[in-house]
Amino acid sequence: MKGYPIHGKVHKFGDNINTDLISPAYYIGKADEIMIAHAMEGADPDFSKKVQPGDIIVAGHNFGPGSSRETAPFVIKGSGIACVIAQSYARIFYRNAINIGLPILVFEQVDEIRDGDELEIDPILGAIFNITTGREYTCVPLPPNIMELVKDGGLIPHLKKQRQ
């Protein structure tokens, strides 16, 4: 794939995975590594034991509703997740994810992706290749200006880069 390829194993979740399930309130304000160690704990208590750098979260409708806490995408990214793919997102979660540099894609056919599948994704082209099944898909690509934020590591690093 051309562009900005992401390659990893899928961790599959359902609909309405809220920010309390992603980033449990009890750990907010603790050291970053403690918050990250408990990422997705409410949805999968073993997530932190299974996740590897470069892995991908695939979820259903309305991923990230609830509070506006930035810790939700922060702990996902900090756990090593390279990309989140879902049918739809809570608006604030979507914006927070972009602001911290986490690629986040809209993809309707998540039911065709299984937990443990291996994917290769190009968010610039809007291309998803399921290595496990051999199927190719298209998703909504990230616009070039959003990909610049992601490549720069998020909004703050991007703004600092612009000032140089």
Q: Are residues 17 and 75 in contact, defined by beta-carbon separation less than 8 angstroms? A: no
| Mean pLDDT estimate for the chain | 93
| Enclosing domain of residue 155 | 6-163
Q: Is residue 67 part of a domain?
A: yes
Q: Are residues 77 and 111 in contact, defined by beta-carbon separation less than 8 angstroms? A: no
Q: Is residue 73 part of a domain?
A: yes
Question: Helix 71-78 vs helix 91-99: angle between axes, to the nearest 10 degrees?
Answer: 50
Count of domains for the chain: 1
The answer, yes or no, to whether residue 78 has pLDDT greater than 50, is yes
Q: Is residue 123 part of a domain?
A: yes
* pLDDT tens profile 80-104: 999 999 999 999 999 999 999 999 9
Q: What is the mean pLDDT of residues 31-46?
A: 96
The answer, yes or no, to whether residue 68 has pLDDT greater than 90, is no
Q: Is residue 83 part of a domain?
A: yes
Residue 67's pLDDT is 82
* pLDDT tens profile 122-141: 999 999 999 999 999 999 99
* CATH assignment at residue 127: 3.20.19.10
Q: Is residue 101 part of a domain?
A: yes
Q: Is residue 130 part of a domain?
A: yes
Q: Is residue 1 part of a domain?
A: no
* pLDDT tens profile 18-36: 999 999 999 989 999 999 9
Residue 121 pLDDT level (bands cut at 50, 70, 90): very high
The answer, yes or no, to whether residue 1 has pLDDT greater than 60, is no
